[in-house]
Structure 1
Amino acid sequence: MKVDVLAVGTELLLGQIVDTNSSWIGEQLASAGIDTYEHRKIGDNLDRVVRCIESMLETADAVIICGGLGPTPDDLTREAIAQVMGVPLERREDLVDWIASLFGGRGRQMPENNLRQADVPVGGDVLPNPIGTAPGLKCEFNGRVIYAVPGVPYEMQRMVNEHVIPDLLERTGERAVILNRSLKTWGASESGLAEMIARQVDDQSNPSIAFLARGIEGIVVRLTAKAATFDDAAALIAPEEAKLRSTLGDLIFAVDDETMEEAVLSRLGARGWTLGIAESLTGGLVGSRIAGIPGASKTFRGTIGSYATEVKRSLLGVTAEHVVSAECAKEMAEGARRVLGADVGISVTGVAGPDSQDGAPVGTVWFGLALPGLPAEAVTTRLPGDRERIRQFSTISLMNLLRMRLDALA
């Protein structure tokens, strides 16, 4: 079965919004073993949307249309599908009541414009949307099927996972379970990882092994298994995951939805240790990520944004001559631990650019760690990219260094 994707919205063509929805849908289709050969973007013009749908249906068994289901006049997906099918729209009173109840639950009156969201092409079915006002659509036409889902990512994702993918699998005659396992890595390039596990990748078909580059979040090695039941799929993945873990070792920092900061907090929490941070070039990015995790207050004491040299000296007690140095990083970590009353202190100082500092070139970064019962240590690296990338890479690299040191203690 061939399923293609059409993203609707002039804002996509103007670059005002990046079309991440199509990429996500493509990933879900691939995980389900469904072929997709083409993704298109089209602006909010009825005639062009109609022609685009008709053209895609000439070669695809199904088309998933994302966007254009809102209440405003430029939301034209409903009208376009009706024209393709050669049928009128009908207003569904059950949908009117349901949309009105959503507004009523918020203490608001439903605007007249939202009545458009209750319009459905005659003969079409509705895909429920329990978290938004835009119902989805499933419309069969000449042996093909058109799905329409909202452009709001979290509404779209839920609808695709709960309705579109299961319906497509049923149409293919497969009632298989698709199970994904994502091993998140940091510290190696995609090509480096590929070389490390090349034989395992070549030997596998079910589960399949793929690489997903996530930029400042590292590289994901994803295992995807298809089987009759969840337990059967899990049994296929388990031995291959074990092999990957044996090969990749501590490059793996988390699994599935777990983040680097969650991995760090869980390890600290297991030891009953608290954390204090001193940041220079990252200016609070590390602390912000740590604080974003629910329950972080049990472990996280705080972060000191010691951007200026005089703040490093007066608040953290730094005496190092050069602030981009091993000595400074160690003194910052010790200062964070002391000032914040934490068991563990970590720090980061360096040069994000555009100019060098203390003779250190742009991208030079020093990390400091002060762990209970151990002398403070400093580690340096040279990070690539522009100012923002250097700061983001520094943030996750510092957390990864702490994770690895905590694992080594175990």
Structure 2
Amino acid sequence: MNAEIISVGTELLLGQIVNTNAQFLSRELAQIGINVFYHTAVGDNSTRLTQVLANAQKRSNLIIITGGLGPTKDDLTKETVAACFNKNLFRDEKSYEKMSRYFAKISKKMTENNIKQAFVIEGSNVLPNHFGMAPGMAFCYEGCIYMLLPGPPSELMPMFESYGRVFLLDQLENKQYIESRVLRFFGIGESELETKIEDLIDLQTNPTIAPLAVGDGEVTLRLTAKHPSLDQAMEMLDQLEKKIQPRVGEFFFGYNNSSLYEEVFLLLQQKGLTISSAESLTGGAFAKEITNIAGSSAVFNGSIVCYQTEVKRNVLNVPQDVINKHGVVSFECAKYMAENVLEILHTDIGISFTGVAGPSEQEGKRVGTVFVGIAVKDKETKVYPLILSGSRSAIRTRTVKYGYYYLYKYLREK
């Protein structure tokens, strides 16, 4: 079964809301073995919706339409779909009775446009709406399945989970599971990653491998397996990952929706370690990312944002002769910053960031010159030089990510 999701709503095209419904439905359909090949968004216009529906019928045998079931004049979805198939609309009595009870409870008159929500397309299986007024509906016509769902996610999601999925499973002859696993990498480009596993990509059938550059130095591989048995689909993913990890595992940091920030936090938490930061060009961005995570106070003591040279000298105690000889954008300065913030804020680890984010050179060093220092109690301090490209904002963001990446590698090896 090949599906297309049509999202109705001018607000989607204007960028006023994010289409979380399509994301949710794609994920849910994949789990029961239904391929989603197309997402389409169309405004609240009957003519354009008819055209979109005609295109979908040529290439899909499951068409799910979201939105446009409400009480206003621009809610035209079920009227348009019914007209396409010369079907009538009839009042679903259960939905109407539920609506009547609601308006009686709040002591308000039920207007005609509200009653409109209780109407469904003839021959439909009605999908009850426990969190709103308009019911959904599903029906088969000339070999294609049509499902109409309300637009608000708070109504659509529970409706699909309770009724839509059950309806579709009843239509499937061969039920299959589609399971995906996302492997996340940092510090390797998309082309280099592909090169290292090129033979696996060339030979892929089931499972499949899909590389994707996320941005700011991150790359992912999405592995997808399809099988009637969920356990077997997971085993297929395990076997494929075992082939990939020995080749590119040094750049791997997590699965699915995890982030470098969360992975470092979890490792600090597991190992009972604390960290502090000394930040020049990043301006506190390292601290911002870790404090966005609930419970970070257990591992993060604080940050010294040392944007000016005087702060590096007077607060972080970077020696004046080091500044005179090497400058504040240097290996030596980064080393002192990391070591001294560790002592000042009484933590197990200190991390420092100094460099040139732009727009112009500093101390004769080009834009994108960065030094990341990591000091650990009773260990030799490491300083990592970087040459980064991009805008000022991109350099700062990637600098922070490199800091977290170096921390991740250290903590994994510890």
Whether the TM-score (by the shorter chain) exceeds 0.5 is yes
Matched with 1:230 is 230
Please say if 1:407 is aligned against 2:408. Answer: no
1:162 is displaced (CA, Å) by 7.1
Q: What is the aligned-residue identity percentage?
A: 37
Matched with 1:207 is 207
Q: Which moved more, 1:267-276 or 1:327-336?
A: 327-336
Matched with 1:304 is 304
Matched with 1:357 is 362
1:35 is displaced (CA, Å) by 4.5
The aligned amino acid for 1:174 is N
Aligned pairs for 1:216-227 (under 5 A) are 216=216, 218-227=218-227
Within 1, Cα distance between the matches of 2:307 and 2:115? 53
Alignment partner for residue 393 of structure 1, among 393, 398, 403? 398
Within 1, Cα distance between the matches of 2:184 and 2:318? 35
Show CA shifts across 1:239-268 (max 9, x none): 221221111122110122332122112222
1:163 is displaced (CA, Å) by 6.1
Show CA shifts across 1:262-284 (max 9, x none): 21122222221111122233333
Q: What secondary structure, in the 3-state scheme, does the structure 1 residue paired with 2:216 have? A: helix
Instruction: Look at both structures and tell me which one has the larger radius of gyration over its CA atoms.
Output: 2
Alignment partner for residue 337 of structure 2, among 310, 332, 338? 332
Residues 354, 122 of structure 1: CA spacing in aligned structure 2 closer, same or farther, 3 A cutoff? farther
Matched with 1:256 is 256
Matched with 1:371 is 376
Show CA shifts across 1:382-406 (max 9, x none): 2232233222222222101101122
Within 2, Cα distance between the matches of 1:271 and 1:62? 50
Unaligned runs of 5+ residues in structure 1 are none
Within 2, Cα distance between the matches of 1:295 and 1:92? 51
Matched with 1:62 is 62
Query: Are the counterparts in 2 of residues 92 and 120 from structure 1 also a CA contact under 8 Å?
Result: no
Q: Which moved more, 1:25-34 or 1:289-298?
A: 25-34
Matched with 2:88 is 87
Within 1, Cα distance between the matches of 2:256 and 2:263? 12
Within 1, Cα distance between the matches of 2:147 and 2:252? 37
Query: Are the counterparts in 2 of residues 367 and 380 from structure 1 also a CA contact under 8 Å?
Result: yes
**What TM-score comes out, normalization by structure 2 length?**
0.82
Unaligned runs of 5+ residues in structure 2 are none
The aligned amino acid for 1:406 is L
Matched with 2:282 is 282
Within 2, Cα distance between the matches of 1:329 and 1:114? 66
Within 1, Cα distance between the matches of 2:191 and 2:333? 34
Residues 196, 88 of structure 1: CA spacing in aligned structure 2 closer, same or farther, 3 A cutoff? same
1:43 is displaced (CA, Å) by 1.9
Query: Are the counterparts in 2 of residues 329 and 349 from structure 1 also a CA contact under 8 Å?
Result: yes
Within 1, Cα distance between the matches of 2:283 and 2:241? 37
**What TM-score comes out, normalization by structure 1 length?**
0.82
Show CA shifts across 1:141-172 (max 9, x none): 34322234455678767766776567556534
Residues 161, 324 of structure 1: CA spacing in aligned structure 2 closer, same or farther, 3 A cutoff? farther
Show CA shifts across 1:165-220 (max 9, x none): 67556534222222222211111111111111122233332222222332237222
Q: Which moved more, 1:397-406 or 1:44-53?
A: 44-53
